Amino acid sequence: MNAARTTPTTTTDSEPTPTAPQFTVPPFAVIPGAQVQHTLQGQERQIMELIEATYELHSAGQSVNPPSYFLRFPDRPSARIIALPASIGGQDRVDGLKWISSFPDNVQAGLPRASAVLILNDHDTGYPFACLESSIISATRTAAMAASAAHSLSRARGTRPTRIGFFGTGLIARYIHTFLAATGWSFDEIGVHDISADSAGGFQSYLRTTDETTPVTLHDSPEELIRSSDLLVFATIADRPHVTDPAWFDHNPLVLHVSLRDLAPEILLASTNIVDDVEHCLKADTSPHLAEQLTGSRDFLAGTLHDVTTGRTEVPQDRPVVFSPFGLGVLDLAVGKHVYDEALRTGQLQVIDGFFHELRRYG
């Protein structure tokens, strides 16, 4: 459903005469984080299906997803703000922009690392019609994407992992665990590793409150966590590879490389590599980008997740399988538009009256 509508008009002559379309400016709404979270809660399976449908649209060429823009700061080298513009076609057309910051030093002050807003623009007029708190949307689409990949790649391999390991224990790790549990996954063991003992302990406590029966083990050693897990989730804030030994992956695990920069190129070159979008993943010194720079080619890529789900790419059991998703802006748009539609449907949309003021061309 578009926020603006076009009303065709004709003259009273015998033949219709084309006239300028009659557009209306959509009302502008603000959707805060509490409302976003309430709307998405309990909808994990539905959101995973929405993410899969959006990837289908993207693979069919019914989206526009230009490269993300990274705003960096000489006086704050660890921080960045990323702009992800995008447009979705198909039945539910919408344009927009996610503006998401990553300030790692926030964690030491007890604040979340990332904050974000999402702007939705009307397809017909280009007017923004909503601003949504988007750190929850971003975490949700990332978790849904990871859960979808775990399902698809496990089916393609013909084997389902029973021991999961979380490398990095922040918000994204929690959301991925929630999505896996809500979409039918259970595990015999859960392993946890983080360079912060407090973060690892906090995540362990969270896991025990959600599942009192599955053993949860804190691993001091990265090698120990990796070797003891057949499904690995990397959800760190690493800006360069810190896991370098391919031998740690000799048991051929399925790896959800969500944070994109944890694994040395040598590990990828010894693995079957799946991405969500080739051009986006091989940029900004991600691990796949470093592998391309090292080899001078993209031959190490087996294909995209869409290639796997459509049967064009096979996923072997006798090599590690690494899924490295960039996380496309179209995914944020899809989830954000879903939240907006739900707020509109339930009468809970908080409209800012008079947000757009100069609407008459000549005053």
Q: What is the mean pLDDT of residues 230-249?
A: 96
Q: What is the mean pLDDT of residues 247-251?
A: 98
Q: What percent of the chain has pLDDT over 70?
A: 95
Compute how many other C-beta atoms are within 10 angstroms of the C-beta atom of residue 288.
26
Tell me what pLDDT residue 38 has: 96
Q: Give the model's confidence band at 360: pLDDT under 50 very low, under 70 low, under 90 confident, else very high.
A: confident
Whether residue 6 has pLDDT greater than 90? no
Domains of the chain and any CATH numbers: 28-137+330-352 (3.30.1780.10), 142-328 (3.40.50.720)
Reference 81, options 70, 66, 89; nearest CA is 70
Cα separations (Å) of 135 from 11, 36, 139, 175? 50, 10, 6, 12
What burial letters (b/e) apply to 174-186, b meaning 16+ CB within 10 Å?
bbbbbbbbbbebe
- Return the sign of the alpha-carbon dihedral for residues 35, 145, 101, 353: negative
Structure tokens at 340: 């907006």
Task: Tell me the pLDDT tens digit for each residue of 46-82.
Answer: 999 999 999 999 999 999 999 999 999 999 999 999 9
Whether residue 7 has pLDDT greater than 80? no
The overall average pLDDT reported for the chain is 93
Tell me what pLDDT residue 279 has: 94
Tell me what pLDDT residue 216 has: 97
Task: Tell me the pLDDT tens digit for each residue of 135-193.
Answer: 999 999 999 999 999 999 999 999 999 999 999 999 999 999 999 999 999 999 999 99
